[in-house]
Chain A
Amino acid sequence: MKTNTALVFDVSAIRNQFPILHQQVNGKPLIYFDNAATSQKPLAVINTIKDYYEQYNSNIHRGAHYLAQLATERYEDARHTIASHLNASEQEINFVRGTTEAINLVATSYGRKFVSAGDEIIVTEMEHHSNIVPWQMLCEEKGATLRVIPITDSGELIYEEYLKLLSEKTKIVSVAHTSNALGTIHPVKEMIADAHKYGAVVFVDGAQALPHSKVDVQDLDCDFLGFSGHKVFAGTGIGVLYGKAHLLEAMNPYMGGGEMIKTVSFKGTTYNDLPYKFEAGTPHIEGGISLGAAINYINQIGLDNISSYEHELLRYGTEQLASVDDLRFVGTAENKSSVISFLVKNIHPYDIGVLLNEQGIAIRTGHHCCQPLMDRLGIEGTCRASFAFYNTKQEIDVFVKALQRAVKVLS
């Protein structure tokens, strides 16, 4: 398999599928290293959205007419694509706006029903704010307690501490598969098995995992998983909540409205079956359909190919950045995705970000929506370069030179 990679993986052919990459920014060829914030979109996705509006825009699940049938079919095809990608069944795939909505939905519809005073919810010290605040809100409402798994200086979970936190009181464990700020890949499969020993359910924040690796919900045995379309080469405003069917069945609806009902009367309303129960209102139709197209696209390239190519970018990028004087990596976990967080001297990350932008390079600077993590590390923020499979080693070379120039100007 490995030897095939070079053959199948033709990065310039891949780049041709991403029109946005072929432009100049501030007079320099754009280098886009902010993929952890959002990914760029291939023609397969762009054309799917275009085709939808040019050929079969229509409301779904309602009309008897041709366009409505076609749109419904494509929307449900996309659900099918996503279900098989995750190794789930279609009724377990709920279209939502993104990871944030997936977490809020579970915190509200599962949490309100099954969490009570004295119960505990566990997250890690390096979660995205989206995977902290909804649980804090739930805890506040219920009189439950949010417990936090501490991390090491290198950005790995202290597993023994996790085991100590688990108890009969634990109702929910919510953890990112992969950290957006540091790239750390957590041992979610073991974490899930350990949580299940106490009867807790586990939510996996898959926002940073889906773009880079194969995620099999049955293999992980996670109870819920959320991810965002825009980080996995589809558009914004669409994402997925996977939930085990029996849990989704037991939950209350999240929002009321059309689509999610079976019958409505003023005496009482009955709710629709899964997955429509959680999809009130006209959904993001072309979003769902193009998310299916995005998943098909990455599967065509092959996630194994993507993973090994990106791993090489990570290795190369780390090696090249190490040659920059006084550069300090933030997050040096053994198991990492293609994210490099760093600081240089005592230069504020934002100054570096501005001067890289002047040279056509997009990175992210700041706390990356992980303020508790930054507090733990005793820093305000970092510079973060995050790679996708359309990035190249040549881009890394240009980036490292540009960084050296920025550092020189700022020293």
Chain B
Amino acid sequence: MGQVKSLADLRKIKEDLQGKMSLRENSNNPESLVQIRVAMATCGIASGAKQVMEFFIEEFDKRNIQAVVTQTGCMGYCFAEPTIEVTLPGQAPVVFGYVDTKKADDIIEKYVKNGELVDGIIPVNYETIEKK
């Protein structure tokens, strides 16, 4: 990506990206839709979020599941670190707390593969401003 020269350029980046996202969502290959966000702020990292994130990336690879794993900032549930948010295709995101690599393994085997929830679910209780 080169320099952004105008508002139009900005909007183009935005649309490209949103296009990419929705392509992901509407794709008919459901395996590619798993999205995981790992809260990687100071407290998350201190309680092992980095290892958990690496674990997910490696294991999805090994187990041949196509997923997008990204890092993000503080989700606000500092009491339950490490926390992650898992979005399965066509479903509402679910936040899991206290995720170590063992729990991560459970989440892949049970929730991602089977839709079976595992312990440590944190109900989300905030609203964020909607995009323009």
A and B part of one assembly: no
Which B residues fall within an 8 A CB radius of A? Answer: none
Binding site for B on A (CB under 8 A): none
